[in-house]
Amino acid sequence: GDALAVSARVAPLGSRLVLVLVEDMTEARRIEAVRRDFVANVSHELKTPAGALSLLSETVIDAADDPEAVVRFAGRMQNEATRLTSLVQELIDLSRVQNDDPLEDSEAVAVAGLVDEAIDRCSQTASNKQITLAAAGTEDLHVWGNRGQLAAALGNLVENAVNYSPARTRVGIAGRRTPAPGGDLIEIAVTDQGIGISSMDKERVFERFYRVDPARSRATGGTGLGLAIVKHVAASHGGEVTVWSVEGEGSTFTLRLPEAGRAREKAEANRRGR
Protein backbone atom coordinates (compact mmCIF):
# COMPACT_ATOMS: atom_id res chain seq x y z
CA GLY A 1 0.00 0.00 0.00
CA ASP A 2 1.10 3.59 0.66
CA ALA A 3 3.82 2.56 3.07
CA LEU A 4 5.57 0.50 0.41
CA ALA A 5 5.28 3.27 -2.14
CA VAL A 6 6.91 5.66 0.30
CA SER A 7 9.75 3.31 1.18
CA ALA A 8 10.55 2.90 -2.53
CA ARG A 9 10.62 6.65 -3.03
CA VAL A 10 13.07 7.32 -0.20
CA ALA A 11 15.21 4.19 -0.62
CA PRO A 12 18.31 6.13 -1.76
CA LEU A 13 18.43 7.96 1.57
CA GLY A 14 19.55 4.87 3.46
CA SER A 15 17.73 2.10 5.23
CA ARG A 16 17.38 3.77 8.64
CA LEU A 17 15.45 6.71 7.29
CA VAL A 18 13.27 4.37 5.23
CA LEU A 19 12.30 2.50 8.36
CA VAL A 20 11.45 5.72 10.14
CA LEU A 21 9.23 6.87 7.29
CA VAL A 22 7.42 3.56 7.00
CA GLU A 23 6.75 3.66 10.73
CA ASP A 24 5.52 7.19 10.24
CA MET A 25 3.06 6.07 7.58
CA THR A 26 1.47 3.46 9.83
CA GLU A 27 1.41 6.08 12.58
CA ALA A 28 -0.31 8.45 10.13
CA ARG A 29 -2.90 5.77 9.48
CA ARG A 30 -3.39 5.29 13.19
CA ILE A 31 -3.98 9.01 13.61
CA GLU A 32 -6.41 8.94 10.68
CA ALA A 33 -8.35 6.21 12.54
CA VAL A 34 -8.27 8.37 15.67
CA ARG A 35 -9.63 11.29 13.69
CA ARG A 36 -12.52 9.26 12.33
CA ASP A 37 -13.43 7.94 15.79
CA PHE A 38 -13.07 11.43 17.17
CA VAL A 39 -15.33 13.13 14.64
CA ALA A 40 -17.98 10.51 15.37
CA ASN A 41 -17.69 11.11 19.12
CA VAL A 42 -17.24 14.84 19.08
CA SER A 43 -20.45 15.64 17.25
CA HIS A 44 -22.22 14.02 20.16
CA GLU A 45 -19.94 15.60 22.78
CA LEU A 46 -20.43 19.09 21.30
CA LYS A 47 -24.19 18.75 21.54
CA THR A 48 -24.18 18.49 25.32
CA PRO A 49 -22.61 21.85 26.26
CA ALA A 50 -24.36 23.58 23.37
CA GLY A 51 -27.75 22.30 24.53
CA ALA A 52 -26.97 23.15 28.14
CA LEU A 53 -25.96 26.70 27.19
CA SER A 54 -29.21 27.24 25.39
CA LEU A 55 -31.30 25.96 28.32
CA LEU A 56 -29.27 27.91 30.87
CA SER A 57 -29.62 31.17 28.97
CA GLU A 58 -33.41 30.74 28.96
CA THR A 59 -33.28 30.09 32.70
CA VAL A 60 -31.21 33.20 33.28
CA ILE A 61 -33.74 35.31 31.40
CA ASP A 62 -36.58 33.85 33.49
CA ALA A 63 -34.61 34.48 36.68
CA ALA A 64 -33.83 38.10 35.83
CA ASP A 65 -35.31 39.42 39.11
CA ASP A 66 -33.33 36.98 41.29
CA PRO A 67 -29.66 38.16 41.28
CA GLU A 68 -28.42 35.13 43.20
CA ALA A 69 -29.92 32.72 40.69
CA VAL A 70 -28.51 34.75 37.81
CA VAL A 71 -24.99 34.47 39.25
CA ARG A 72 -25.40 30.74 39.84
CA PHE A 73 -26.66 30.03 36.31
CA ALA A 74 -24.06 32.32 34.77
CA GLY A 75 -21.37 30.28 36.54
CA ARG A 76 -22.74 27.12 35.01
CA MET A 77 -22.85 28.79 31.61
CA GLN A 78 -19.18 29.64 32.04
CA ASN A 79 -18.35 25.98 32.68
CA GLU A 80 -20.27 24.81 29.63
CA ALA A 81 -18.60 27.47 27.47
CA THR A 82 -15.17 26.33 28.69
CA ARG A 83 -16.02 22.77 27.82
CA LEU A 84 -17.19 23.80 24.35
CA THR A 85 -14.00 25.80 23.72
CA SER A 86 -11.85 22.91 24.84
CA LEU A 87 -13.58 20.44 22.51
CA VAL A 88 -13.17 22.81 19.57
CA GLN A 89 -9.50 23.29 20.51
CA GLU A 90 -9.02 19.53 20.41
CA LEU A 91 -10.53 19.44 16.91
CA ILE A 92 -8.09 22.16 15.81
CA ASP A 93 -5.11 20.24 17.28
CA LEU A 94 -6.15 17.08 15.53
CA SER A 95 -6.44 18.81 12.17
CA ARG A 96 -2.97 20.31 12.69
CA VAL A 97 -1.50 16.87 13.35
CA GLN A 98 -3.35 15.52 10.35
CA ASN A 99 -2.40 18.00 7.67
CA ASP A 100 1.19 18.86 8.33
CA ASP A 101 4.12 16.57 7.76
CA PRO A 102 6.76 17.66 10.30
CA LEU A 103 9.53 16.32 8.08
CA GLU A 104 8.43 18.68 5.29
CA ASP A 105 7.52 21.82 7.22
CA SER A 106 10.18 21.99 9.90
CA GLU A 107 11.69 25.27 11.03
CA ALA A 108 13.46 26.67 14.08
CA VAL A 109 10.71 27.41 16.60
CA ALA A 110 11.32 29.59 19.66
CA VAL A 111 10.31 27.78 22.85
CA ALA A 112 9.33 31.08 24.50
CA GLY A 113 6.71 31.62 21.77
CA LEU A 114 5.28 28.13 22.23
CA VAL A 115 5.09 28.69 25.97
CA ASP A 116 3.29 32.04 25.53
CA GLU A 117 0.76 30.38 23.25
CA ALA A 118 0.21 27.49 25.68
CA ILE A 119 -0.31 29.91 28.58
CA ASP A 120 -2.75 32.03 26.53
CA ARG A 121 -4.72 28.95 25.74
CA CYS A 122 -5.61 28.20 29.35
CA SER A 123 -5.30 31.62 30.96
CA GLN A 124 -9.09 31.82 31.40
CA THR A 125 -9.35 28.50 33.26
CA ALA A 126 -6.20 29.27 35.22
CA SER A 127 -7.50 32.63 36.40
CA ASN A 128 -10.90 31.13 37.33
CA LYS A 129 -9.06 28.62 39.52
CA GLN A 130 -6.46 31.17 40.68
CA ILE A 131 -3.70 28.95 39.39
CA THR A 132 -0.34 30.66 38.86
CA LEU A 133 1.36 29.88 35.55
CA ALA A 134 5.10 30.53 35.58
CA ALA A 135 7.75 29.88 32.93
CA ALA A 136 11.52 29.82 33.41
CA GLY A 137 14.60 29.10 31.35
CA THR A 138 12.87 29.23 27.99
CA GLU A 139 14.77 32.25 26.60
CA ASP A 140 17.01 31.59 23.59
CA LEU A 141 15.89 27.97 23.23
CA HIS A 142 14.85 26.79 19.77
CA VAL A 143 13.46 23.43 18.73
CA TRP A 144 13.30 22.03 15.23
CA GLY A 145 9.83 21.16 14.00
CA ASN A 146 6.37 22.03 12.84
CA ARG A 147 5.16 25.08 14.75
CA GLY A 148 1.45 24.17 14.79
CA GLN A 149 2.07 20.64 15.98
CA LEU A 150 4.53 21.72 18.66
CA ALA A 151 2.01 24.32 19.87
CA ALA A 152 -0.66 21.62 20.05
CA ALA A 153 1.66 19.36 22.07
CA LEU A 154 2.76 21.92 24.65
CA GLY A 155 -0.74 23.42 24.80
CA ASN A 156 -2.18 20.06 25.77
CA LEU A 157 0.37 19.49 28.53
CA VAL A 158 -0.23 22.91 30.10
CA GLU A 159 -3.99 22.58 29.71
CA ASN A 160 -3.94 19.21 31.49
CA ALA A 161 -1.78 20.61 34.29
CA VAL A 162 -4.38 23.33 34.88
CA ASN A 163 -7.38 20.99 34.49
CA TYR A 164 -6.11 18.30 36.86
CA SER A 165 -4.98 20.67 39.64
CA PRO A 166 -6.96 22.14 42.52
CA ALA A 167 -7.49 25.90 42.89
CA ARG A 168 -4.69 28.16 44.12
CA THR A 169 -1.82 25.91 43.05
CA ARG A 170 1.11 26.56 40.75
CA VAL A 171 1.95 25.26 37.26
CA GLY A 172 5.58 25.66 36.25
CA ILE A 173 7.03 25.39 32.75
CA ALA A 174 10.81 24.98 32.66
CA GLY A 175 13.04 24.82 29.60
CA ARG A 176 16.64 23.68 29.35
CA ARG A 177 19.15 22.41 26.84
CA THR A 178 20.75 19.02 27.49
CA PRO A 179 23.50 17.22 25.61
CA ALA A 180 22.62 13.90 23.95
CA PRO A 181 24.55 11.50 21.69
CA GLY A 182 22.74 12.51 18.47
CA GLY A 183 22.92 16.29 19.14
CA ASP A 184 21.55 18.55 21.88
CA LEU A 185 17.98 18.15 23.04
CA ILE A 186 15.60 20.75 24.39
CA GLU A 187 13.64 19.69 27.44
CA ILE A 188 10.38 21.39 28.32
CA ALA A 189 8.99 20.23 31.66
CA VAL A 190 5.46 21.06 32.80
CA THR A 191 5.03 20.57 36.54
CA ASP A 192 1.78 20.76 38.48
CA GLN A 193 0.68 20.30 42.11
CA GLY A 194 -2.42 18.42 41.06
CA ILE A 195 -4.09 15.07 41.62
CA GLY A 196 -1.21 13.07 40.17
CA ILE A 197 -1.34 9.74 38.33
CA SER A 198 -0.97 6.26 39.84
CA SER A 199 1.87 4.08 38.57
CA MET A 200 -0.75 1.74 37.09
CA ASP A 201 -2.24 4.54 34.97
CA LYS A 202 1.07 6.16 34.02
CA GLU A 203 1.63 3.88 31.05
CA ARG A 204 -1.92 4.11 29.85
CA VAL A 205 -2.56 7.88 29.86
CA PHE A 206 -0.83 8.20 26.47
CA GLU A 207 -3.32 5.81 24.87
CA ARG A 208 -6.05 7.44 22.86
CA PHE A 209 -9.37 7.83 24.66
CA TYR A 210 -7.84 6.63 27.95
CA ARG A 211 -8.97 8.70 30.93
CA VAL A 212 -8.32 7.89 34.56
CA ASP A 213 -11.64 9.44 35.60
CA PRO A 214 -13.95 9.90 32.59
CA ALA A 215 -16.49 12.03 34.47
CA ARG A 216 -13.84 14.46 35.68
CA SER A 217 -12.22 14.64 32.28
CA ARG A 218 -15.53 15.25 30.51
CA ALA A 219 -16.36 18.12 32.86
CA THR A 220 -13.40 20.08 31.48
CA GLY A 221 -14.04 19.13 27.85
CA GLY A 222 -11.56 16.25 27.91
CA THR A 223 -11.81 13.49 25.33
CA GLY A 224 -8.78 11.40 26.24
CA LEU A 225 -7.01 12.36 23.02
CA GLY A 226 -4.69 15.11 24.24
CA LEU A 227 -1.78 12.97 25.40
CA ALA A 228 -2.08 10.65 22.38
CA ILE A 229 -1.58 13.77 20.23
CA VAL A 230 1.40 14.88 22.36
CA LYS A 231 3.01 11.45 22.05
CA HIS A 232 2.46 11.38 18.29
CA VAL A 233 3.96 14.84 17.83
CA ALA A 234 6.99 14.05 20.02
CA ALA A 235 7.71 10.79 18.19
CA SER A 236 7.26 12.23 14.70
CA HIS A 237 9.80 14.95 15.62
CA GLY A 238 12.34 12.40 16.80
CA GLY A 239 11.66 13.24 20.43
CA GLU A 240 9.72 11.79 23.33
CA VAL A 241 7.36 12.64 26.15
CA THR A 242 7.64 11.12 29.61
CA VAL A 243 5.76 11.47 32.88
CA TRP A 244 6.82 11.51 36.49
CA SER A 245 4.12 11.66 39.12
CA VAL A 246 3.22 11.05 42.74
CA GLU A 247 -0.47 10.49 43.36
CA GLY A 248 -1.99 13.30 45.38
CA GLU A 249 1.12 15.48 45.01
CA GLY A 250 1.47 16.32 41.36
CA SER A 251 2.93 15.44 37.98
CA THR A 252 5.71 16.49 35.64
CA PHE A 253 5.37 15.86 31.92
CA THR A 254 8.63 16.35 30.02
CA LEU A 255 8.85 16.90 26.27
CA ARG A 256 12.28 16.26 24.71
CA LEU A 257 12.81 17.60 21.21
CA PRO A 258 15.77 18.07 18.89
CA GLU A 259 17.54 21.42 19.29
CA ALA A 260 17.15 23.56 16.17
CA GLY A 261 20.79 24.20 15.18
CA ARG A 262 21.98 20.62 15.00
CA ALA A 263 18.69 19.29 13.58
CA ARG A 264 18.79 21.87 10.78
CA GLU A 265 22.30 20.77 9.79
CA LYS A 266 21.15 17.16 9.65
CA ALA A 267 18.09 18.05 7.57
CA GLU A 268 20.24 20.03 5.14
CA ALA A 269 22.77 17.21 4.86
CA ASN A 270 19.92 14.80 4.07
CA ARG A 271 18.55 17.11 1.42
CA ARG A 272 21.98 17.41 -0.24
CA GLY A 273 22.35 13.62 -0.08
CA ARG A 274 19.16 13.23 -2.04
Amino acid, single-letter form, for residue 150: L
Report the residue number, 66 or 249, with the smaller CB distance to ligand ADP.
249
Task: Answer positive or negative: Cα dihedral of 82, 86, 89, 91.
Answer: negative
- Determine the interface stretch with ligand ADP among 36-44, 139-147, 181-189, 194-202 (rule: CB under 6 A): 194-202
212 binds ligand ADP (CB under 6 A): yes
Distance of alpha carbon 260 from alpha carbon 27, whole angstroms: 24
Strands (E) across the chain are located at 107-110, 132-136, 142-145, 170-178, 185-192, 240-246, 250-258
CA distances from residue 140 to 71, 112, 135, 154, 254 in whole angstroms, order as listed: 45, 8, 13, 17, 19
Closest approach, Cβ 153 to ligand ADP, in A, equals 11
Binds ligand ADP (CB under 6 A): choice among 138, 146, 236, 251: 251
CA distances from residue 240 to 20, 69, 230 in whole angstroms, order as listed: 15, 48, 9
Closest approach, Cβ 110 to ligand ADP, in A, equals 24
Closest approach, Cβ 155 to ligand ADP, in A, equals 11
- Determine the interface stretch with ligand ADP among 13-21, 36-44, 45-53, 223-231 (rule: CB under 6 A): 223-231
164 binds ligand ADP (CB under 6 A): yes
Q: Work out the angle at residue 126's Cα, subtended by the Cα atoms of residues 165 and 119, and round it to the nearest 5 degrees.
A: 110
Report the residue number, 192 or 259, with the smaller CB distance to ligand ADP.
192
Interface ranges with ligand ADP (CB under 6 A): 156, 160-161, 164, 192, 194-197, 205, 210-213, 217, 222-228, 251
